[in-house]
């Protein structure tokens, strides 16, 4: 039986196939993205460098001697590789378990292809069992929380956590997300919300799913 880490390593290796020679690659955040960074290190002489979606990933990339570019200097990227907290067969995702959702959404938006790397436990029929992370400007905490309650969720402040952008995260429990594209837009329109963890309007293009039978490739 393969461990979860072995499944993550297998999908991270598979994602390397999607990295064009001589490119700047968009890099996500989290334990699966970390495996990808470690695989990227093995081909670092074949790429120009990376754009990181968090300070943590930037640090790991630099630790491997991979050059880290700011997105403003890199321009449009051919590919973005990142994990997810939940993903559906439509390749809609919940992200932000690690709190990096805003930079992840920005780098993903600037990338032509989003390759999602997950172990099989992340594939779900309906999003929402994993609490939906929402990055919020601190002064809007209470007013945003009230509006999240009005939408049927139970907002819980992520204690002792500040994002790379200096904001807070509210994790919204109890949502059964039947229409992620619509909910993503609704949440984005709440004043004080910076980003929400639904990646549906721009979902993944390819899912590399680590299963005990091998890496499955899924597209929409
Ligand atoms: C971080 C994220 C991660 O992609 C998500 O939390 C998955 O992490 P892991 O690969 O450790 O399960 O969105 O903000």
Q: What average pLDDT is seen over the chain?
A: 97
Average pLDDT rounded to a whole number, residues 75-81: 96
Q: With beta carbons less than 8 A apart as the criterion, state whether 204 and 115 touch.
A: yes
Round to whole Å and give the CA distance between 135 and 197. 8
Q: Judging by beta carbons within 10 Å of its beta carbon (0-12, 13-18, 19+), is residue 44 exposed, middle or buried?
A: middle
The confidence score (pLDDT) of residue 62 equals: 98
Average pLDDT rounded to a whole number, residues 207-214: 96
Instruction: Tell whether the model's pLDDT for residue 1 goes beyond 90.
Output: no
- As a residue count, the chain comes to 220
Average pLDDT rounded to a whole number, residues 16-43: 98
127 secondary structure, DSSP code: B
What is the best residue among 95, 197, 208 to mutate for testing ligand 1's pocket, by most ligand atoms within 8 Å of CB? 95
Minimum-distance ligand 1 atom for the alpha carbon of 29: 1
Average pLDDT rounded to a whole number, residues 28-56: 98
Ligand 1 atom 6 nearest Cα: 97
Q: What angle do CA 95, 194, 63 make, to 5 degrees?
A: 55
131 C-beta closer than 6 A to ligand 1: no
The confidence score (pLDDT) of residue 167 equals: 98
Instruction: Tell whether the model's pLDDT for residue 187 goes beyond 90.
Output: yes
29 C-beta closer than 6 A to ligand 1: yes
Instruction: Tell whether the model's pLDDT for residue 2 goes beyond 90.
Output: no
The confidence score (pLDDT) of residue 122 equals: 97
Round to whole Å and give the CA distance between 77 and 126. 30
Report the separation in Å between the CA atom of 51 and the middle of ligand 1, taken as the mean of its atom positions: 17
pTM above 0.75, yes or no: yes
Ligand 1 atom 7 nearest Cα: 84
Report the separation in Å between the CA atom of 211 and the middle of ligand 1, taken as the mean of its atom positions: 18
């Amino acid at each position: 039986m393969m461990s979860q880490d072995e499944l993550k390593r297998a999908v991270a290796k598979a994602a390397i196939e999607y990295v064009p020679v001589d490119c700047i690659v968009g890099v996500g955040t989290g334990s699966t993205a970390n495996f990808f960074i470690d695989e990227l290190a093995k081909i670092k002489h074949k790429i120009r460098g990376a754009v990181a979606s968090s300070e943590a990933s930037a640090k790991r990339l630099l630790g491997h001697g991979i050059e880290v570019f700011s997105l403003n200097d890199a321009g449009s990227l051919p590919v973005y590789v990142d994990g997810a907290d939940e993903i559906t067969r439509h390749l809609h995702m919940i992200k932000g378990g690690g709190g990096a959702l805003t930079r992840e959404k920005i780098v993903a938006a600037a990338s032509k292809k989003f390759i999602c790397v997950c172990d099989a436990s992340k594939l779900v029929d309906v999003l929402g069992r994993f609490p939906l992370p929402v990055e919020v400007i601190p002064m809007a905490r209470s007013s945003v929380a009230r509006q999240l309650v009005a939408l049927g969720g139970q907002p819980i402040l992520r204690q002792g956590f500040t994002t790379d952008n200096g904001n807070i995260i509210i994790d919204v429990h109890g949502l059964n997300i039947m229409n992620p594209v619509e909910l993503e837009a609704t949440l984005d329109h709440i004043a004080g919300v910076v980003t929400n963890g639904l990646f549906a309007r721009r979902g993944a293009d390819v899912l590399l799913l680590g299963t005990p039978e091998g890496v499955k490739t899924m597209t929409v």
